[in-house]
Amino acid sequence: MPWSVDSLVVNADDPLTPLALLAQAERTIAGLPIGDLVAEFQARGLPLFLVGGSVRDAILGRLGNDLDFTTPARPDVISDILRGWAGTVWDTGIDFGTVSAAHRGQQVEITTFRSDTYDGVSRNPEVMFGDTLEGDLIRRDFRVNAMAVELLVDDAGDLVARFHDPVGGLEDLAARRLDTPDAPEISFHDDPLRMLRAARFVSQLGFGVAERVKAAMTDMAGEIERITAERIQVELDKLMLGDAPWTGINLLVTTGIAGHVFPEIPAMRDMADEHNQHKDVYAHSMQVLRQAIDQEEDGPDLVLRWAALL
């Protein structure tokens, strides 16, 4: 698959690492059964971009069957194209510019470019459709989720890809670091749930967070109370299902966010167990959680993990 790069930020200390990551993504994307979908957008003069977590996971070699795309096409056009391509199409997210479909074992979500604004009270944006890829990318939660791959079909019917990275997401990915496209204070004020997403990605991906992100999370911990309990629980469950949930929990505890979402967890640090065998109950609970995960045989067990922690 021919591959070209736009706005690539390369770590000068290890210039081959980003290129090796792109090679991994190229191999993954080349095998996707979406050439006819790309061709249909192309025939209408519309670019189609694999975007966000799908690009991140393709680079990491962990892309699943759920693919996220963005395009300047408006939702009615997206819906028309998908209905001609897929057997199953649903538009429950059309008010947010998203149309979804399932075809050949792949589930795709295609969303019109967005340039949302926030009122600073809820996390729900005023949905506004945008006109540029860069405008869509810079509004996203973390740089590693602000990359895109433009897909085209050449005369031979092969996929052609162009990588777009306006904010340096690949450099962060190579460094295994979470940082925000904008100042973290602005990003977290727009949507405080992003602070929980940071902890979730720490658990799932094994990444660290930039110091400015950790500082903003600490200063703005109380902002998480703007988020509904239901949305918080969804993120916490995803965190608990990660490869190393104790790392995400530690981030929430050290930044003070845990005190707002599950205060019983940081409270454990001041409690000794009945045998005085551990420095505190918190450290003991983290150890029990690790041991429970080691005993899992059929994949992550959410109930077991919560029981081990609490």
* Tens digit of pLDDT at every position of the chain (310 positions): 555 554 443 333 443 467 777 877 888 888 888 999 999 999 999 999 999 999 999 998 889 889 999 999 999 999 999 999 998 999 988 988 999 999 988 899 999 998 766 666 666 667 788 889 999 999 999 999 999 999 998 888 888 888 999 999 999 999 999 999 999 999 999 999 999 999 999 999 999 999 999 999 999 999 999 999 999 999 999 999 999 999 999 999 999 999 999 998 988 886 655 555 556 788 889 999 999 999 998 889 999 999 999 8
Report the SS3 class of residue 134.
helix
Task: Write the DSSP symbol of residue 156.
Answer: T
Return the residue matching tokens 């590693």. Answer: 144
Task: Give the phi and the psi of residue 56 in degrees, each rounded to 5.
Answer: -55, -50
Q: How many CB atoms lie within 10 A of CB 292?
A: 16
d(CA 56, CA 40): 25
In contact, 109 and 69? CB cutoff 8 Å: yes
Give the tens place of pLDDT for each residue, 142-161: 999 999 999 998 888 888 88
User: Residue 203 in 3-state DSSP?
Assistant: helix
Residues in Cβ contact with 59 at an 8 Å cutoff, skipping those fewer than 6 apart: 21, 22, 24, 25, 147, 170, 173
pTM for this model (two decimals): 0.86
Identify the pLDDT of residue 273. Answer: 56
Q: What is the pLDDT of residue 16?
A: 40
Domains of the chain, each with CATH number or no CATH: 3-175 (3.30.460.10), 180-309 (1.10.3090.10)
Q: What is the pLDDT of residue 126?
A: 74
